[in-house]
Chain A
Amino acid sequence: MDDLLSEFLTETVESLDVVDVELVRFEKDPNNKDILGNIFRLVHTIKGTCGFLGLPRLEALAHAGETLMGKYRDGAPVTTDGVTIILKSLDAIKDILAELAENEAEPVGNDDGLIAQLHILSEGKELTDASEVAASGQSKVEAAATSVKASDGEIDDSSAIKIVERELKPGEVTLDDLEAAFLSAPGPDDIETPAADTATTEDTPPPMEASPETNEATPTANNDEINSKRDKALTPQSIRVNVDTLEQLMTMVSELVLTRNQLLEILRRQGDNEFKVPLQRLSNVTAELQEGVMKTRMQPIGNAWQKLPRIIRDLANDLDKKIDLEMIGADTELDRQVLEMIKDPLTHMVRNSADHGLESTAERIAAGKSEIGKVKLSAYHEGGHIIIEIKDDGRGLNTEKIKQKILLNKLATEEELSQMTENQIHKHIFAAGFSTADVVTSVSGRGVGMDVVRTNIEVIGGNVDLVSVTGKGSTFKIKIPLTLAIVSALIVGVNDHRYAIPQLAVVELVRAHGDSEHRIEKINNSRVLRLRNKLLPLIRLDDILELERIIVPTDGEAAAEIDDNLEENGFIVVIQVGPQTFGIVVDKVFDTEEIVVKPKSALLRTIDMFSGNTILGDGSVIMIIDPNGMANHISNEMADTQAAEEEEETKKENYAEQTTSMLMFKAGGDEPKAVPLSLVTRLEEINVKDIEPSAGRDLVQYRGQLMPLLYVEGHNEMRESGRQPVLVFSDDDRSMGLVVDEILDIIETPLNIEIMVPQPGILGSALIRGQATEIMDVGYYLPQAFDDWFERREQGDKFKQKRLLLVDDSAFFRNMLSPVLSAAGYDVITAENPIEALKLLRGQDSDFDIIVSDIEMPEMDGFMFAETINNDEALKDLPIVALSSHISPGAIERGREVGFYDYVAKFDREGLVTALKETLEVKGEAA
């Protein structure tokens, strides 16, 4: 039987069972909107699917039923006649479905009588008894009689073979038992559901001989017989099982496996005894059971693709295109839950590719392409993820159209667009309400598609990406994590710890040996291996996981020895993630095991080095290494080993140090300068010709306003011609440009301002990447651009300067924020830590109006500090505002709990000033 049809039948029969139950309730309580709504929805679904499958008779009946129910739903009074007739139409639908299940075709004939009655009722008229009887009789006779004709010719050999070949989907259960029940059940002799008895279908299609006879009898047969036939034909071919039940089953089986392993271990120690044979049998059964349960969860992705060839074929007809659908990797197994989730997005995307992606035949020929458009669907594993690619060789995405649409939907400004790469622009098609199709076809173009696709995929922790080349086609790449999936993993050991590496990411294993050709060599501190005339970057697993080495070396020599030991006798696991290949150095390699990935607990979710954890056969829990996380780490490491090492050193010096993104630039002189990236609004290049000198300073038109340009104190000057890079700082509606010579880089680095320079405009010098770098004081330049840059904020408080205590362990932030806050009209006193702050607060000169405190500080953190203040009778009314580089809802909530008035991001200068003002205002009103 056509898979589409069989699925429809299974679903519909299930729906109808629900309808039956609902109808009973409906009869008792005809005015219950919920029940009616349920029935309405089910019938509506049947109608919709019928249209798609080409079942006009069913569709017409369902449609008429739906119309009447729609009327009731809209508030028309429900009559007994109405309920009866709805019940009758549902019975008729079941009859038709029974025929369908048997003969794969709708019985010829129509249900005009029933439909007419439904219409009469929909129009609010009453029925006459006569018409009712006539109609129901007619439809029944017709249904039965016509089925004879249908069954004669409709089943052909190919469909019979299809049935035989059709594999059970996981989640479906073979119905041997049910089949047996069928055969022993009383009723018309030889009717067999085609899928149930494969042996007979192979020989000759049995319904041909069997059903005419029985069906001929049907018109005169009593109702019971009709019912039994209906029930039998519609018995579902699979049983739906709650996933939770499967999950629980899985857990139990794992437990069983563990117990079995323990028993086997005992047996091994005790040698031969009478338990041996039964234990072995237990062992085998357990293994089979485990496999079986596993199977119930896994489905080949091909199951989600089954409908696609048909859809594409119909589409090709509708759109008059020639489309070739190629499917690769249909046997890639996926967890059924994941599969369910990606089924619809996939269908949608394939449709999109065929509809929007591929050009019409004429266009293709004009473009010199083969007239047959190709849509290629492939699935494979990569680095512990499942990748599904949908590729077409069509026209590619229309960048200009997307741009227009972006502007139309106000998703970005023109300026932002001009900074985007083509790929970034393309990604906007995943935004809500985005469709570039000129004409909304029945197929696609309603603009609900791609964002739903993205959401669905993200729900299961995956992501979707696209690459599109104009004229060549587009490729969508869906990446689904292996959580929930079963993978084969390589178990490796380092320092007595074991970890699992997904086998899919492992390319090969190399034994490192000091004397052999596979020798670990070092370039500076980066380890590499010569592997087939290529250098393979290496990383030690214990390093990347920051494990303590077992023996703590006492001096340099011993350290080298231990290093050598691992590096001379270790193993190198060669990993490939996407285009990147690298090696992980481990102590031991155990074996491979099939593991079920379980998600990490919320407390561990932030560690991107692990993708999950699992329980091994021996019952212990091990962490599963995420090759992607490791690749990210290693590429950072490779990119700048030196920076990493410095970071390491600074880390040792000050464990709690946070890193800051710094923008490095040159402005006058060769030494680099830096400014925290988050203070910079944007980087611009302005044309020197556009600069207009006015009243002693340079101005430039920027976003419809005049923006003053400033120069780094006493150093650089404007170029003669060409384009000049400018850092733009914005505040509300004002912008200021700082002219620089060259923008160098953006660096994530811990910031320690070491040398304070008594020089305006410079906070001090810091060592960044081993080079002395001047850190700019933006607070110095802002008032130069607009004299009232800060003042305008605190007009109300002009005459009463508030005293502010700033607590931050980082000298950099103290130095950066003090001038900003001073400029905003506060008398700023700083403290290095909460303890010092408390001393100040409890000391003589303690008349503070507000406290601004960092959260991450050694010894006593901001939360504790706030709590202490809150618990102090003398201080508890003092408002305190938190300042943190980590803003999470949890942190904010906690901040409120311990008594912070507000929570501001560290670099949100404007936010801080506003928060302070608001806090003081609220405080003032309260007082």
Chain B
Amino acid sequence: MINIRKTRLMTKLALYETGEGREDIRLSKYYKTDYVRLHILKTILAVTVGYLLILLMVALYKSEYLIAQAVNLDYKAIGVTVLVIYVVLVTVYVVGAIIGYSIQYDLSRGKLTRYFRILKIMKKIYREEEGSGTAAGKEEESNG
């Protein structure tokens, strides 16, 4: 016979797993530090790619000047400026990523606690079912 309470709990679990919980469950595989570190790496990579593309576009925009002044250019000063801007940009994004992804991780943990609580109740129900199943079997044997 269908256990109504179990069905209700399983529905709640399934709703969470297919909805917002999908991302939370994926996050639960990581430790917080690992998760934040992974996203810092991804952020640095994305910022680097974006910055290189901007540099490419600026270089193309200034290409006439760059070609004309190729010999006279102060490459050291340009290099330092480009590097300083890059470092500042990466620092801002990394700090933002640390804060943002930490908050995201903590929020997902909060939601997962409820999910695990329902899982524990499910476990208990299964144990009860097993217990009552064996007890009923024994009763039948003794009646028979």
The reply to whether chain A is a binding partner of chain B is no
Interface residues of A (CB under 8 A from B): none
Residues in B lying within 8 Å of A, measured CB to CB: none
